[in-house]
Amino acid sequence: MTLIYLDGQWLDRESAKVSVFDHGFLYGDGVFEGMRVYGGKTFRLQEHVERLYDSAKAILLTPPIGQEEMVALTEEGVRRAGLQEGYLRHVVSRGPGDLGLDPRKCLRPTLVIIFDRIAVWPPERYEEGLVLITAGTPINQREALSPRVKSLNYLNHIMAKVEATNAGADDAIMLDATGHIAEATGMNLFLLRKGTWFTPALHSGLLRGVTRDTMIELIHEAGHRVVETVLNRYDLYTAEEAFLTGTAAEIAPIRSVDNRVIGIGKVGPLTADLRARFHRLVRS
């Protein structure tokens, strides 16, 4: 069952409505967060809520409720929806205003929480590995808006996803203006070279994912080394194993990039081990 919390009301998919004058709709003026539910519990709920409020603070947006109430509201919604396995989307927008840009015209932010499910790719893609391309659409310049802000404007990521779809690929790797790897269209990247895992550094213009942080912990737990650094396409083309991480995507192995086969062209043994560790962790 899809359940939606909207500004104090519990609604279904058909009855939940947001004003056409909401600046989240008109201008992408707002922030959001995605969360996963495993076994009836929201994974890393506190970390996700903290990131939502940090994103809001960075754009001078004050959510209508405090963090503790947001946590309690999320837990209540999971119970109401009867979710054992699911996906949550928290959205805080600037709220209804007028057709101008002035945020002072928006008197109260809009809060939406969607309690639902998601499947980014069918199960067989996780067993076969993803086919990726590198996108011509670059990641947003970090000097314009910090990539740490999870804002409602994802147009450049969407255009990179369109490139992947048009090329018959599952997703796209996005580069910064200098040609260095940032992230996929909403996911972080890990690759293995000569026994060491590498992932793009935060200054590469990527969103610091909660699943990314979790995977770094699991790599250390498995006794491996992980390095956050600047990476380019050569590093990816010559990787022995590679995978994407994200709340919605979870741990998604990569089979090829730009027609270059990664490793043996299927899920590598270390990737398989880390996926297993992740699934044990989220359900522990």
The answer on 104 and 176 residing in a single domain is: no
Q: Are residues 107 and 165 in the same domain?
A: no
Which CATH number covers residue 181?
A: 3.20.10.10
- Identify whether residues 242 and 104 lie together within a single domain: no
Read out DSSP for the chain? --EEEETTEEE-TTT----TTBHHHHH--EEEEEEEEETTEETTHHHHHHHHHHHHHHTT---SS-HHHHHHHHHHHHHHHT-SEEEEEEEEE--B--SSS-GGG--S-EEEEEEE---SS-HHHHHH-EEEEE-SSPPPPTTTS-TTS-BS--HHHHHHHHHHHHTT-SEEEEE-TTS-EEEESS-EEEEEETTEEEEE-GGGT----HHHHHHHHHHHHTT-EEEEE---HHHHHT-SEEEEEETTTEEEEEEEETTEEPTTSS--HHHHHHHHHHHHHHT-
Same domain, 127 and 268: yes
pTM of the model: 0.96
* Average confidence (pLDDT) over 269-276: 97
Among 97, 116, 135, where does a domain finish?
116
- Residue 150 is a catalytic residue: yes
The verdict on 103 and 190 lying in the same domain is no
Q: What's the chain's average pLDDT?
A: 96
Is there a single domain that holds both residue 134 and residue 265? yes
Encode pLDDT of 169-209 as tens digits: 999 999 998 999 999 999 999 999 999 999 999 988 899 99
pLDDT confidence tier of residue 145, bands split at 50, 70 and 90: confident
Q: What is the mean pLDDT of residues 72-78?
A: 98
- Indicate the number of domains in the chain: 2
Domain match, 108 and 217 both: no
Are residues 112 and 129 part of one domain?
no
Same domain, yes or no, for 244 and 107? no
Asked which of 82, 116, 150 is the last residue of a domain, the reply is: 116
pLDDT at 142 over 80: no
Residues 44 and 90 in one domain: yes
Domain end among 99, 116, 133? 116
Say which CATH number the domain at 101 has: 3.30.470.10
Q: Are residues 46 and 134 in the same domain?
A: no
9-58 per-position pLDDT tens digit: 999 999 999 999 999 999 999 999 999 999 999 999 999 999 999 999 99
Q: Which of 57, 150, 194, 266 is catalytic?
A: 150
187 and 256 assigned to the same domain: yes
Which residue range is the domain that position 261 belongs to? Answer: 123-282
pLDDT attached to residue 160: 97
pLDDT band at 120 (very low <50, low <70, confident <90, very high): very high
